[in-house]
Chains A and B, each alone.
Chain A
Amino acid sequence: MLEFLKAHFWHPLTHVEFRINRSDRWFAFFSLTPALLVTILVVFLPLLYALYLSFNKAEVMVVGGRGSVQTEWAGFNNYLYFLKDKSFWQGVRVTLYFTAVSLIIELVLGIIVALVLNQEFYGRGVVRALLILPWAVPTVVNARLWGLIYEPQSYGAMNGLLQSIGLTSPDNAINFLTSVPVFQSVPILGQITSWIGSTSAINWIILSDTWKVIPVVALLVLAGLQTIPIELYEAAEVDGASAWQSFWLITIPMLRPMLLVILVYRTMELFRVFDILYILMAYTVPVVAIRTYQEAFAFGLFGRGSAIAFLIGLFILLIAMVYINLINWEED
């Protein structure tokens, strides 16, 4: 069951049979140094610098094309500011909502699509090849593309579609990307959606974002499905298991490592979402990445920007640690 993860993600020291000799030591040194230098200079030092900046009030002055940086020690003020800021926590809730809902949709529909594609039908190869298309569309183009579809006029594609099937009338074009929370007319549900920040806009944007990701999740799951030996299902059938039972008792457990990897990667991708929300909604959906960008580059508050940036980095690294530990733990 763990062959997949073992083969691709973890090579314990015990698997390396031969010891390093003197000439190999130089080879290893020269082949690793450039990559390490780049990583330290372009990733880890900037990250440490972000930590330093987050304890400062930092400003950048650009005069005649020449920039200069002023910093002033601020202690924990930047962090305290966010802890006390209600709109920041609203942003955290929206980010978590976006992440969780997208993740569930991607996994459930991804598995369903993969199960369909795992059947034999005419033209299967072509359908499978075409499924990679949405994933290859750049995120910025994806944003623009759905912006056109959600056009709040009767000539927009989504409005046109709803009108063609008679759900809405041409006089009342729907504005999909509004910041009004959904279900406002339902008493308790309406309060919950306002608290979470589940607006009409974010829900439609989740649809567009999942459009891009579901097919590739399906292709990955399909690759996993094809490694499951058919004998397992035959044996289950002989034992009188229903299709539903063999799905939960064979398919899901066999896909577990693959699903775990998808889950972790997607969590990290979704938590940092920026492009599509910034392009379609500017600053009106305050997910953490947009808030960071806004504090630093719209308000010029680089200390505060660094504080959130560092918190996001830390959070993502924590997920990564959990993930690495999970793999180790499953191996024991």
Chain B
Amino acid sequence: MTNQAKKRLWKRRLSRVGLYSLVALILIWTLAPFTWLFLTSISTQAKLNAIPIQWLPNPPTFEHYLAMFDPANETGKLFLAAMRNSLLIAMTTTVVCLIIGVPAAYALSRFVFPARNIIIIAMLATRLLPTVALVVPFYIIIVGYIDPVVGMFDTPHNLIILYTSFIIGLVVWIMRGYFATIPRDLEEQAMVDGATRLEAFWHIVLPLTVPGLVTTGLLAFLLAWDEFLLALIFSRTPNAFTMPYFVFIVGSSQYYQSPAAVAAGGFLAALPPVVLALIFQNRLVSGLTAGAVKG
């Protein structure tokens, strides 16, 4: 082997080493904090207070997880209520947003009519408007005017309605993009053959957009699951409070027990979205590319 060739070989090996070290660095940085959350959650108090720091719990304990699922336990009661509320609220919000948003998205992608562009921009605006700009009027309307007539404050349906306000725009916006990729000829052909618009939409267009519906529904679910500010203001009791609210109070109020309990609660709150995201990783990235959603 000539000197030149040797040099080139070494250069290539070196750049491979560099590449793999960078990848390792990225991977460690991405996974380490979440791993620490899990390690904390299975630690005893003695391990958590050890100096110098003890990285791995030895032996691990699952008592904090068991406590979460124990209805007789004070924290467990709150956790189970929060989990139930979060599932109920996030799933209902997703379904409501899809039922209302998908037909609207279809109409906006297919028909020309006056004010069409204004509606599109208004939908985008609802997506972009920060929740904090709406909480004050929401609070006054709900506490001052609606609650004295029908119970609203601290109920799941209140949160579902409010969550719809910022998720519907996302659904319309992303689904409009998906409908735009479906060729019109398909429906037109069906309608020439005697199908109505509704039939063409239901039997031909909608089945073709199932991947889009799944992605959009998933994003809507994740957004609803993640929401904190509205849950903080509009829930007080296990009647309506959600997982983020639970993770908040379990770490900083009279419910506080130990860092390990906070970590266990946090880990369980993160589990459903993390598992969903890992399973549907590819779909989510394409959905985010289409809607460039949340951060």
Residues of A participating in the B interface, judged by any CB pair closer than 8 Å: 7-9, 11, 13, 16-20, 23-25, 27-28, 30-32, 34-36, 38-39, 42-44, 46-47, 49-50, 53, 58, 60, 62, 65-69, 113, 116-117, 119, 121, 123, 127-141, 144-149, 151, 154-157, 159-161, 163-164, 170, 208, 211-213, 215-216, 219-220, 223, 258, 261-262, 265-266, 268-272, 274-275, 279, 288-289, 292-293, 296-297, 302, 305-306, 309-310, 312-313, 316-317, 319-320, 324
- Contact across chains for A296 and B136 when beta carbons are under 8 A apart: yes
The stretch among B4-12, B30-38, B62-70, B71-79 that forms the contact with chain A is: B30-38
B226 CB, nearest partner CB in chain A, Å: 5
Residues of A within 8 A of B248 (CB): 140, 279
For residue B276, which residue of chain A has the nearest CB? A136
Residue numbers of B with Cβ under 8 A of A are 19-20, 22-23, 26-27, 29-31, 33-34, 36-37, 40, 48-55, 100-101, 103-104, 106-113, 116-117, 119, 121-126, 128-141, 143-145, 147-148, 161-162, 164-166, 168-169, 172, 176-177, 180-181, 184, 188, 196-198, 201, 222, 225-226, 228-229, 233, 243-245, 247-248, 251-252, 259, 262-263, 266-267, 269-270, 273-274, 276-278, 281, 284-286, 288-295
Cα(A163)–Cα(B244), bound, Å: 32
Partner of A160 from the list B27, B53, B113, B270 (CB cut-off 8 Å) is B53
If over half of B's interface residues share one DSSP class (helix, strand or loop), that class is named, otherwise mixed; here it is helix
10 closest A-B pairs (Cβ-Cβ)?
A160-B53, A31-B103, A136-B277, A313-B133, A272-B130, A35-B104, A69-B144, A42-B165, A140-B244, A67-B143
Residues of A within 8 A of B116 (CB): 13
A133-B30, A148-B36, A148-B263 as given contacts; A268 in contact with B130, CB under 8 Å: yes
CA distance A42 to B134 in the complex (A): 9
Residue with the highest number of chain B CB atoms closer than 10 Å, among A8, A134, A269: A8
* One of B51, B176, B294 near A170 (C-beta < 8 A): B51
Contacts of B137 in A (CB 8 A): 46-47, 49-50, 53, 306, 309
Residues of A within 8 A of B139 (CB): 60, 296-297, 302
B278–A132 touching, CB < 8 Å: yes
A42 to B157 alpha-carbon distance, docked (Å): 14
Docked CA distance A23–B103 (Å): 15
Q: Which listed residue (A8, A30, A32) contacts B177, Cβ 8 A?
A: A8
Known: A312-B130, A317-B129. A46 touches B138 (CB 8 A): yes
Residue among B20, B37, B252, B281 making CB contact with A121, cutoff 8 Å? B20
The residues of A that contact B133 with a CB separation of less than 8 Å are 47, 50, 309-310, 312-313, 316
Shortest Cβ gap from A163 to chain B (Å):
6
Please pick, from B36, B100, B104, B147, the residue contacting A67 in the complex, using a CB distance under 8 A: B147
Q: Are A50 and B262 in contact (CB under 8 A)?
A: no
Other than the given A69-B144, A289-B130, 12 more pairs (CB < 8 A) read A43-B166, A132-B281, A132-B284, A136-B274, A137-B270, A138-B243, A139-B226, A140-B228, A144-B266, A163-B52, A289-B229, A293-B132
